[in-house]
Each structure stands twice: as structure tokens, then as C-alpha cells.
Structure 1
């Protein structure tokens, strides 16, 4: 490591790949040199990075609870050995989880390992329409359970009351700091009152960026925080003001300087998310470039034949033209497939296919710019391509940056959470990455 660069300050553990990129983007926008790594890291590799923040991207959101806890604790140990002073557990701004977890169990285990008696849970991301009021999560003005998230194929969210949701997942007591405490700058005193009552996990209201900024300023004493990426935009400033973060404020990378592969290769979109936002994005793009929908039933019946069909499609698309392959579908079709074949079977088949497709695109079809929609898709693709780390660059839309692999032969990657971006996002991402 360059001895002139300050040591690692912040270690983040994210429960999926696109969520990791989301918080990394906000940290970069706030002036922190940030690197994202994939999977449980080696401490020696982390210590070699010249970064103020490292974000560990796990695939732990929808897996077995004990496995999620184990890999999160291993990641924490690596970040501690690398010298991190503050820690953050990142989950989705729609609080994606089941009644059994994994948000509560992972957070509880991290708290116990760090010896932390109390922390906050702040999923709000107002810039992307996620707000919390009186403990209830809203998505673009609709209650979480009425926003389309009740149709999520893996983690359907049927309750907007986050205090109630989190309490089902943990043995610790859960409380609330509401917007009145934020407005009156009473967060620290309110947390102390809650601690006196035995409340360890504190859901926080946040209706706008002013609330997030105030919350960041009033929680600098906490060694460990949890939340979505919204508050991450304001934490570095609060740490600098309190004297905790001494690293020089870094300007986000300029696009021209960042993208070293802009003149080489073609762009491809691989979309596995079935969120309403991604459905609209797929619908917009498929009439504007060569597109193919995965035939899930054929994929399940004969993976090799289905992939051969896709290879035939790829060879028919003229060189250097962008293309899109998607499994994105409406909730009714998703439910039919899950009922017929099983949720886990369908998910595994799609992830495996997306990983193999990405490998084909890069190895055989000249693709050097990939736009990946959905955390499961992004995780499958980065694993199949053997991507270990990415540099995080300029923002395309809130929570979605352009990134570049750390390798001798770099790829440009756009890793998009299913719920993020407007209808034209895929088209914009292709243009930016080009």
C-alpha cells in the first residue's frame, strides 16, 4: 500500500452485488476512494488496496440464514484485520427479507461480534423514492406492501411496518426514532432513552435528504451502522466534521478519465430482475435493439438446447451492435413458473444461464461493456467471469454508477438494482458505457 495514503476507514458488508455497487456509488459521490470486492475477502488483498472504503459484495440476501451469518462474520473479520475503523451492513432500500431473515440475524451477529449494544436501521433513499415515516416504508409514495414488492419472486414484502418486520427476525428488542426527533436534533438523546429501555435495534424515519444528513451527523459515535445506501451519501461529511475521517475529499472520477475501454468492444444488457421498474426498462429497450427473452420452460427442460438457441441469436446480431437478453417477466408469469417448477429451481436455472451467457458474450462476441439488472443476475455473472474487484466511478442515476474491473483486460460494468432507474435507463447505460 502507498504509505502516503491514509489507511482503510470504512468496511461495508452488502447482502448482494448491486446493493454493494449502490452504496459504493454514494460513498464515491461523497468523496471517498472506494473499491468493491466480490465474496468473502482475503485480508491481505484488502490491505493492498488504496481505498478509504471497501465494500464487500456477498450473495447472502436470500440464502440459508446460517450461511448468510457465517459469510458476513468472515467478511467482518477480514475488514477488521485490514484496519477498518467503522463498519456498515448494507441491505436493500426495500428491506427485502423473509420473516426469518436475513437482515435481523446478520445484523444481530455483527453487533454481537463487534460488542455493539445498539445501532440504527435506515433503509431510506429519498432520491430513489424510498422513505420511512412513523416506521413505515414507502416506495414512490406507496406503502411497501402496495408498491409491487408484495410480488417479489424471492422475498415478497407484505408488511410496511419495519419495526414489526425486524422484530420477527431478531432476539433483540426493536424501537423507533421518528421524524420529530430528527427535526429536533434529538437522535442521540432518544437513542439513549431507548437504550435505557433495552432497545438495541432502532428503525429510523427519514423522509428527505435533510433527515439523512441530520441522522448522519448525530450517529458519528456509532462504530456500526446498518441501512440502505441513502445515508451513505452523508456519512463521510459527518465523519470529517467530527474529525474521525482524515482522508482528503476525493472528486468522483471524470467519465473520460475513468472509462479506459470506451473504444473497444460492444455493449450487452442481461436482465434477470422482475421488478416493475425493470419490466418497464426492458419494454422500452427491446424495440430499440436486438433482444431475446429467455425461454424458461425450454431452459429447464434442456439447458444445452436453450443455450444453443441463444447462441444462434447472438450470431445473427451484427458485430458491435448492442443487444439485450432478459428473463424479466410480469408477476403472473413468474408465479406460474414458480408453481410449476419451484422457486429455487427457476432462480438457479436463470442465474446459471445468465452466467454462461455472459461468459459467451465476453469470450466469443466481443462484449466489453455489460449492463446487469438484478442482484442475483449480477452475482451470477461476476462469479462466472471471475471478477474479484471493481473500481467505482461516475454515477449514471442515483445508486447506479459506471464501474470498471480491476484486471489487465478490464470490462466496463453497470450493476443495477432491479428497482432503480427510469424507463430509459438501459439505453442511457449503454450510451454512458460507450
Structure 2
């Protein structure tokens, strides 16, 4: 059994669907799952936390608690899922969380990679690329919460951890020498091994080499490689089809791709409401005004968009006026309240853009977890809950420009 601990909610859905594609029966929990009541009916457990930008001590405590729950379920391999753009601050939380879990599990070397070629993320010579540019030259350099200004992963990780980091180079991956290289790094006193991978074949090779490793980390790409190594044989039931019913879109991400998707919603003529935190810093009144607007809409206008997404210059003005943490907290709180009001009004499909936004939505709705369904885009599956509510939690950078329009039809 594989147990994954994800540092945000959209990342959790991404890793859950990567496992499920390979026939791994996967259950997803938002927050700590209950203690098991009987034999497991699944092969993998994914726990979605909201720790990417949490205070370091909180992130470590939550992740350690998640490890305890996974151990109580008999998990043999733990996978720490972080973003394919290595989203983190200079202090963490990737390094502190891995330090704590590796210590708790007495693991001397942890192999990992953020490579996810299907999303344009690749690692070469220890450097992370986004498309054909280095991470620090990509849009992630200007991320409002986790600006990434260095592309060399060992250096980034060593800045967050008490331990050394090294590289398993692409030639070693493709020669089948991953195990030998990990042994060399261990002998040198290196705890973290960043594994190069530029295509899916590299990830499958890495997954095969790490099939018995007790602790592994990375983005959804490597999780798919591990799933290939553990894949069940025989027929796997197809995921549930895309849901129908009243829909609404909530966008808080300011990533370049989400901005394109928001623009596509507006260009398609969908009703759109902007949550302006400069005009009003009270989440209750922000959400209340948005819901009053929703109540005036004609159902024939199509699924509406509620958004706080902003271009970099506008975002800087907001952050300079209110501060980064305060402005983000206001947006997340308001969007959570809007989500509650929409569900109370009969919305059965909630589409959320952004990891922090999705965490706020799920928390406000009190959703404990769900079954992974069909993908609206690669790595963006529908989640079917026991209450009948369907969620689509989209990472800020995922999906084609028309995703929000298509998913909310």
C-alpha cells in the first residue's frame, strides 16, 4: 500500500489520479482520515493537507500526524507530494517536513524529483525547468506567496534542511544505475537525492528503482512512476463520468494560466464577479455582496465566475496596501463563504482554481474526501463526494485556457 501526504489540495488530487490511472485503487481524504475500522478496500491513501505556506512548525506537526495515520493503515511506502515547481519559501516547508518524516522513519536517503514532463516540468543536472526555461526565469519568479528565484534544487533544499542534497544525473537514470548512485550519496553523508528526469520513461525507471523505498518525495510524475511499478493486473473499473448539475467557478490563483482561463470565461460571456479586497477587507461583506449578485442572475447565462485573480501589477498594489498574508487570508475566507452560499443555493458542481483557494473551499464546505472520477484535464479529476457534491480542484498552472469554460458547461 502507498500512502501519500500532499502539501495542498490540488496537488493531492493530482497525485491521486496519477495513482489511479495505473489501476491503483485510491481513496482521497481532505485532512487526517479516521482510524481504519476494518480491512482496507484500496491500495493507496492520499491525505490532502494545507501546509505549503503554513508556519513551519504547523506543517511539520500536521505532516507527522498524517504519517501516524498512514502507519495505522499499514502503509508500506510513504510519498511526500509537493508541487512540480518546487513551490516553497526560503525556510520551507519541503525541507523541514522531509527532515521530520525521514527522522521518524529512520530513512538515511530520500530520493525525489519534481519532474512532471506532461506539465512541462523537467529536471536536468539538478536544475528544474518549466517548459524550456529555468524555474527562476519562469512565471514562478513572481509567485505572490512562494517566489522561486533559484533553479538549482540541491541548493534550494539545503537552504531549508539540516542535511545535504545531491543529484542522480540523467545518464545514471538511463543506465539503470539509480541504486548504485543512491548508495554513493549515502556513503558521502547526503540525505536527499534529486533525480534527473526529462520524460515519462525516466520516471518509470525511477519508480521501478524506488519500488521498495520506504520514503519517496516529488510531484505527481514520480508518483505515476511508482504506480507503474506497483500496478495491479486485471480489469479496473472505469472512473465515474463527469457530473452534471448547477455549476460555479471560484478562482483565487494569480498564475499566468489561471489568468488566461479567467479571461476565457469572461470572453465566453459568462457572468463574472470580482472580489475586490482593496475596496472591502471584510470577508463576510465581500461574500455577501457576491451572493446578492448571484441571486440576480438568469440561469440561462451559464455558470458564473467569482474571482480575485489579478495581473502582477495589480496584485503588487494589493499586497503593498494590505500585506501578502493578510490579502491572501481575506481572499480565501471570502471565497470559502461564497462556496458555502452557492451550495446552499443548489450548486452541485464547484470548480476551484488555485491550491490555496481549493483548500479554503474544501475547508468551508467541510468535505472529508471523495472518490476520484474522470479528468477534466490532465491531473485535474472530478471528485465525487458522499453528499452528491462534485468538486474540481485545479492547480493554478494546470489546464488549457478553455478548461474553466468547458468544465462548467
Q: Shorter-chain TM-score category?
A: over 0.9
Of 206, 217, 230, the residue aligned with 1:215 is 206
Q: 1:184: Cα distance to partner?
A: 0.9
* Structure 1: gaps spanning 5 or more residues: 1-8, 241-246
1:187-228 per-residue CA deviation (whole Å, 9 max, x = no partner) reads: 011111111111110011111111111111111231110000
1:151-198 per-residue CA deviation (whole Å, 9 max, x = no partner) reads: 111110000110110011111111000111111111011111111111
Of 104, 111, 126, the residue aligned with 2:102 is 111
CA–CA distance in structure 1, aligned partners of residues 167 and 406 of structure 2: 39
Q: 1:103: Cα distance to partner?
A: 0.1
List aligned pairs for 1:27-426, cutoff 5 A: 27-44=19-36, 50-240=41-231, 247-248=232-233, 251=236, 253-256=238-241, 259=242, 262=244, 265-288=245-268, 289-300=270-281, 302-319=282-299, 321-364=302-345, 366-405=346-385, 407=386, 409-426=387-404
1:22-67 per-residue CA deviation (whole Å, 9 max, x = no partner) reads: 100101111111111011233236x576221110000100011011
TM-score normalised to the size of structure 1? 0.91
Q: 1:393: Cα distance to partner?
A: 1.5
Distance 1:277 1:233, change over 3 A: same
CA–CA distance in structure 2, aligned partners of residues 250 and 389 of structure 1: 25
Q: 1:254: Cα distance to partner?
A: 4.0
CA–CA distance in structure 1, aligned partners of residues 384 and 159 of structure 2: 39
Give the match's secondary structure for 2:348. strand
Give the match's secondary structure for 1:367. coil
Q: 1:297: Cα distance to partner?
A: 1.3
* Structure 2: gaps spanning 5 or more residues: none
Note the aligned Cα RMSD (angstroms).
1.5
CA–CA distance in structure 1, aligned partners of residues 39 and 389 of structure 2: 21
Give the match's secondary structure for 2:370. strand
TM-score normalised to the size of structure 2? 0.96
- How many residue pairs get aligned? The number is 407
